[in-house]
Amino acid sequence: SRDITRDKERMRNLERLATLDTLTGLHNRAWINEKVGFMLAQADDQAYTTVMFIDLNGFKAVNDLMGHATGDALLQQVSERLQHCMRPGDSVARLGGDEFVVAAKCSNHEAASAIALRIIDSLHAPFAINSMDVRIGAAIGISLARFGTATAKMLFENADKAMYQAKARRDGSYQFFEPAAE
C-alpha cells in the first residue's frame, strides 16, 4: 500500500483549476453552465432561474490604449465589484474577455432589475489603475425561466440576445429577453 494523500490533493487542485478563471479567480464558463443547469432542475422552487449576461462598455479602448496589463487589472477590479453586488446564493463567473455572467434565483423581474442596477451602479465609479481613473460601463441582458420551461443553453442564448439589444442602445443599461411575437 502507499500514501495517496498527495495524489488526492493534486486531483482537488486540478478540479479547482478546471472550474476557475485564473485571471479573476471567478468561476468559469463550464462551472456556471453546470450551476444554471442545476438551478433549473429544482422542481420545488417557484423562483425564476435568472441569467445575466454582462458585457463591459469601453473595455476594448482600455486594452488598446493602455495595454493588456491595465486591461487585466481592470478585469480583476471589475470581478471584485461584481462579487460585492451578489446576494447570498448568487453566482458570478467570467466567460472570457470582458464578458461575465450572473446566475441568481429571483422571485420576479423587479428582483432581477435590482441586481442589474447594483451592477451598473457599481461599475459607474472610476477604477483606480496605475494612478489613473479608468471609466467603463456595462450592457446587461437578462433571461428568466422556471423549472421545466428552458434549458441552461436557452437561458444563456436569450440573455446574450438581450445583452446585444441593451448594448445597441449605448446607454449602459439592461434589457430583459422578450420572445418574438408569433
Residues annotated as catalytic are 98
Secondary structure (3-state) at 30: helix
Q: Under 8 Å CB-to-CB from 182, ≥6 apart: which residues?
A: none
Give dist(CA 52, CA 141) in Å, integer.
Answer: 5
Measured CA distances, 52 to 13, 62, 65, 113, 122 (Å): 29, 23, 28, 10, 15
Bridge partners, 20 (sequence order): 27
Radius of gyration of the chain (CA): 18
b/e burial code for range 97-133 (CB count within 10 A of at least 16 → b): ebbbbbbbbbeeeebbeebbebbbebbeeebebeeee
